[in-house]
Amino acid sequence: MTADAYSTSEMMTVAAARRLRDGAACFVGIGLPSTAANLARLTHAPHVSLIYESGAIGAKPSVLPLSIGDGELATSADTVVSTPEIFRYYLQGGRIDVGFLGAAQIDRFANINTTVIGSYRKPKTRLPGAGGAPEIAALAREVLIIMQQSARSFVENVDFVTSAGFLDGGDARERAGLPGNGPAAVITDLCILEPDPATRELTVASIHPGVERAAIDAATGWPVRYVSRLRTTDPPSNRELATLRELLRRTAAAHGTGEES
Amino acid sequence: MSKIVSLREAIAENVHDGDTLALEGFTHLIPFAAGHEVIRQRRRNLSLVRMTPDLIYDQMIGMGCATRLTFSWGGNPGAGSLFRFRDAIENDWPHSLQIEERSHADIASAYVAGAANLPFSVMRGYTGSDLPKYNDRIRFITCPFTDERLAATPSIRPDVTVIHAQKADRQGNVLLWGILGVQKEAALAAKRVVVTVEEIVDDLRAPPNACVLPQWVVSAVSVVPGGAFPSYALDYYDRDNRFYKAWNNIARERDTFLAWMQRHIVQTADFAEFRRTLGNGGREDQHT
């Protein structure tokens, strides 16, 4: 791969990382959110405090954790607190600026499903479940979601609302009494979607370079709308790409695999 | 009477058929050796509780130990699915498994409530989520002082909690550090507490404020070096990520799972022999 060529997955991670502002207290999910949040920490946001639900606060891992409780999260952290403390004092206490989540399924109002595909009682596919997501989605001041976009994962209605986005849209989230502001952006391998200010429907706000609208339409399970002042996402800079690739290289070497992402 | 006993005795004495049993450890310090011993002693009708039922509960569920599971995240961390857990839920194999599904924040709070001898936990949670529609033990109450609507869920008070820790002293005081998860709360919420440790020392040399379980809240302590393998014990050994990845292939099909469990767990006497059957220093990198 030449220096300026990049994959759609790299574009997604870089675009997601840019949304995390320096100095934020960010509750990070494992996998793609953790990759993006650490890229942010290693580029424009050195003072971000990454918080993992295993209790690590201010984690600065040199390689990406394979699990939410890898040892380096603890040894590189400012402090490690118990699971009740991280959820009760820090999250429920209102001290988290950003919740960074992934999902198996998302709907047009950014409700996310990590529980089941199909019916709950007789699922077609049983997924891992809620973990910390329902309270992170409810209580963090804002939520960023990073996930691959496809018609199977971007659906009109999720099979199960594990974690609330904007519920039925409009002011439904506020009426339900959810403290946080909800999803601010959904960053995919094709584009960035943001909630419409009034309807709260996820709307395409920025398209990654080289992506056709038709591809986004085909990868969205509802008739997706575009903002009138549509942007094109800046391609990854050399520094962003080099930092991401070096992070993934170190990670693969540490975990003894070449398939981490 | 000494609290320091063999793991076989500790499980035989403290874990009974039909018990509510919690094995806790949040990625770190997962009590695998104790879980294996529960399988070897063929415990049945257990109500299992665990925030993150990972490989050890996949093994216990697949071997028919459990009829009920309370959990908040059931996956193979960093590596994929729990195929035995899914087979039980999706296909009732080896028999049906009743599930009570909650969130991490809820289960953590429910152990706190249990340790505090309260019947329920109160939290800001579940608003807008479908979980309360399918779990009628997640309810909502109104604060008597502010009229706020809050979630209330039953506290968790296991018959037995089992954890793994780094050290105990000869009296049975237990010291753990690193990622602590909910182990202290789960232990204090339980009627009986079994702890496996990496080593027994004369003096814990625990700094003030360290996480220490005093010996009089612990029922039994067993020395099982490496007893959290393939998870890890901070300052003793790392997580064996290869084992977690290999587990997908072992557990995906019922027959390969059963053959593996027979060879490595059922037909071995203890955890040390289990490690020897894996060869290569106990590391699992075969891809069956």
Same domain, B144 and B214: no
Å between A192 CA and nearest CA of chain B = 24
**Closest C-alpha to B156, from A176, A84, A73, A72:** A84
- B67 vs B88: CA distance, rounded Å: 10
Cβ separation A256–B101 shorter than 8 A: no
Rounded Cα gap, residues B5 and B8, in angstroms: 8
Instruction: Collapse the DSSP code of B38 into the 3-class scheme (helix H, G, I; strand E, B; otherwise coil) and give the result.
Output: helix
Does the residue B204 lie in any domain?
yes
Which CATH number do you get for residue B277? 3.40.1080.10
Q: What tens digit of pLDDT does each residue of B7-39 get?
A: 999 999 999 999 999 999 999 999 999 999 999
pLDDT class for B279, splitting at 50, 70, 90? confident
pLDDT digits (tens, 9 = 90+) for A221-237: 999 999 999 999 999 99
Same domain, B236 and B206: yes
Type and span of the H or E element at B257: helix B254-261
If you average pLDDT over residues B142-157, what whole number do you get?
97
Mean pLDDT of chain A: 95
Residue of B nearest to A69 (CA): B27
What is the distance between the alpha carbons of residues A48 and A69, in angstroms, rounded to a whole number? 19
Query: Residue B205 class from Cβ within 10 Å (0-12 exposed, 13-18 middle, 19+ buried)?
Result: exposed
| Domain co-membership, B195 together with B233 | yes
Q: Which domain holds residue B201?
A: 7-101+157-282
Percent of chain B with pLDDT over 70: 97
Using the beta-carbon criterion (under 8 Å), do B105 and A87 form an inter-chain contact?
yes
Q: How far apart are CA A33 and CA A83, in angstroms?
A: 20
The 10 Å Cβ neighbour count of residue A72 is 17
Question: Are B49 and B118 in the same domain?
Answer: no
B150 and B271 co-located in one domain = no
Asked whether residue B180 is assigned to any structural domain, the reply reads: yes
From chain B, the residues in CB contact with A255 under 8 A are 241
Q: In angstroms, what is the C-alpha Rg of chain B?
A: 19
Structure tokens at A103: 């999902």
**Which is it for the CA torsion A110, A115, A120, A124, positive or negative?**
positive
Confidence of residue A68 (pLDDT cuts 50, 70, 90): confident
User: What residues of B are in contact with residue A104 (Cβ under 8 Å)?
Assistant: none
Q: Do B179 and A84 touch (CB under 8 A)?
A: no
Phi and psi, residue B8, nearest 5°: -60, -45
Task: List the beta strands (DSSP E) in A17-161.
Answer: 25-28, 49-52, 56-57, 79-80, 98-101, 105-107, 112-113, 116-118, 123-126, 142-146, 154-155
Give CA–CA dist B204/B202, Å, rounded: 7
Domain-by-domain residue ranges, chain A? 8-250
Q: Is B2 within a domain?
A: no
Question: Angle, to 10 degrees, between the axis of helix B254-261 and the axis of helix B241-251?
Answer: 120
Asked if residue B247 lies in contact with residue B54, where contact means CB atoms within 8 angstroms, the answer is no
Q: For chain B, what is the mean pLDDT?
A: 95
Instruction: Specify whether A142 is catalytic.
Output: no
Tokens of B227: 């007893």
Question: For residue B18, is it within any domain?
Answer: yes
**From A53, A194, A240, A260, active-site residue:** A53
Q: Residue B128: inside a domain, yes or no?
A: yes
Mean pLDDT, residues A46-65 taken together = 96
- Same domain for B254 and B120: no
Which residues, including other chains, have CB under 8 Å from residue B19's CB and lie 6 or more apart? B43, B46, B47, B158, B159, B160
Question: How far apart are alpha carbons B165 and B181 in whole angstroms?
Answer: 12
Is residue B287 one of the residues assigned to a domain?
no
Over its C-alpha atoms, chain A yields an Rg (Å, rounded) of: 18
Q: Using CA atoms, how far apart are residues A24 and A44, in angstroms rounded to an integer?
A: 12
Best of A32, A75, A82 to mutate (most B CBs within 10 Å, chain B): A82
Question: What confidence tier does B285 reach under pLDDT thresholds 50, 70, 90?
Answer: very low
Instruction: Look at residue A81 and tell me whether its pLDDT is greater than 60.
Output: yes
Residue with tokens 């037909």: B267
Q: At B162, is the secondary structure helix, strand, or coil?
A: strand
Last residue of a domain, which of B154, B174, B189? B154
Determine, for residues A73 and B179 on separate chains, whether the beta-carbon distance falls below 8 Å. Answer: yes
- What pLDDT score was predicted for residue B193? 98
Beta strands B149-154 and B139-142: pairing type?
antiparallel
Q: Are residues B163 and B254 in the same domain?
A: yes
Beta carbons of B109 and A179 less than 8 Å apart = no
- AA letter at B230: P
pLDDT exceeds 80 at position B287 = no
Q: Is the pLDDT of residue B278 over 90?
A: yes
Interface test with A, best of B98, B99, B179 (most A CBs within 10 A): B179
Continuous segment of H or E residues that includes residue B192: strand B192-201
Which pLDDT score, from 0 to 100, does residue B283 have? 54
Percent of chain A with pLDDT over 90: 90
Instruction: Report residue B247 as tokens.
Output: 């587990």
Instruction: Tell me the CB-side half-sphere exposure of residue A202, using CA atoms within 13 A.
Output: 34
Which of B154, B189, B216 is the last residue before a domain boundary?
B154
The DSSP bridge pattern shows strands A202-207 and A191-195 to be antiparallel
What percentage of chain B has pLDDT greater than the value 90? Answer: 93
Dist. CA A161–CA B104, nearest whole Å:
16
3-state secondary structure of B6: coil
**pLDDT attached to residue A231:** 98
- Say if residue B282's pLDDT is above 90: no
Tell which of B124, B126, B134 to mutate to test the A interface (max A CBs under 10 Å): B124
Domain count, chain B: 2
> Of B124, B154, B184, which marks where a domain is finished?
B154
HSE (side-chain half, CA atoms, 13 Å) at B18 = 0
pLDDT at A258 over 70: no
Task: Round to whole Å and give the CA distance between B175 and B168.
Answer: 6
Q: Comparing C-alpha atoms, which of B151, B153, B261, B168 is closest to residue B217?
A: B168
> Is residue B1 domain-resident?
no
- In this prediction the pTM is 0.96
- Indicate the length of chain B as a whole number: 288
CATH topology of domain A8-250: Glutaconate Coenzyme A-transferase (3.40.1080)
Clarify whether residues B112 and B189 are in a common domain. Answer: no
Could you tell me which of B171, B136, B174, B166 has the C-alpha nearest to residue B152? B136
